[in-house]
Amino acid sequence: MLVFRRCTIPLVTLALALAGMATVAQANDASVRAAIKAQTPAINQSPQIKGLLKGAKVKATKVPALIKLCQTLEGKLDHAAAVVAKTTASTAQGKAGKSNWVNGARGLAHGFSQLVIALKDDEHGNKSAGQTEAAAALKTIANADALGVKADHELKLSSGS
């Protein structure tokens, strides 16, 4: 009976430790998902920016407001990426999803930075440079958006989170 107790206590302790590690693994990936969900409302785009990204014509009087919106969104995206980067994922899929989401958010911020340059070029009468920069910005934003979709899939988030 004494031998059984000596083996049972370490086995029960080991089982509890392993069960605790599994819970931590879920919690860590859950913390990444929670951080992303908490940042999503802050980085949702305004209707004006969505229209701009779809190719809507912009009146010259609206350009300064759009520049300010893009700059604000750029800052929010950088902040969101920093917040999510601080979380810890424990599974390989969670780590990949976190990395893709952070890189996607930073890519979107860079794309909006390029868009600000394009809008400023256009505002100052340099149409060809503005169009070139706008095309580069839209390509950067599309690539970053693709990373975000991939991250949503890896983290099992609803699309656009």
- DSSP annotation string for 114-133: HHHHHHHHHHTT-HHHHHHH
pLDDT of residue 17: 44
Rounded to whole angstroms, what are the CA distances from 147 to 2, 15, 75, 98, 121?
58, 38, 19, 10, 28
pLDDT of residue 160: 54
* Spatial separation of the C-alpha atoms in residues 83 and 14, rounded to whole Å: 34
* Spatial separation of the C-alpha atoms in residues 122 and 66, rounded to whole Å: 12
Rounded to whole angstroms, what are the CA distances from 86 to 45, 74, 82, 127, 142?
23, 19, 6, 41, 25
Annotated domain spans of the chain:
2-154
Sites in the chain below the pLDDT cut of 70: 1-28, 159-161
Query: Do the Cβ atoms of 70 and 119 come closer than 8 Å?
Result: yes
pLDDT digits (tens, 9 = 90+) for 129-157: 989 999 999 999 999 999 999 999 999 88
- SS3 assignment, position 23: helix
Tokens of 89: 């994922």
* Spatial separation of the C-alpha atoms in residues 9 and 13, rounded to whole Å: 6
* Spatial separation of the C-alpha atoms in residues 75 and 113, rounded to whole Å: 10
* Spatial separation of the C-alpha atoms in residues 155 and 26, rounded to whole Å: 11
pLDDT of residue 48: 72
Q: DSSP class of residue 46?
A: P
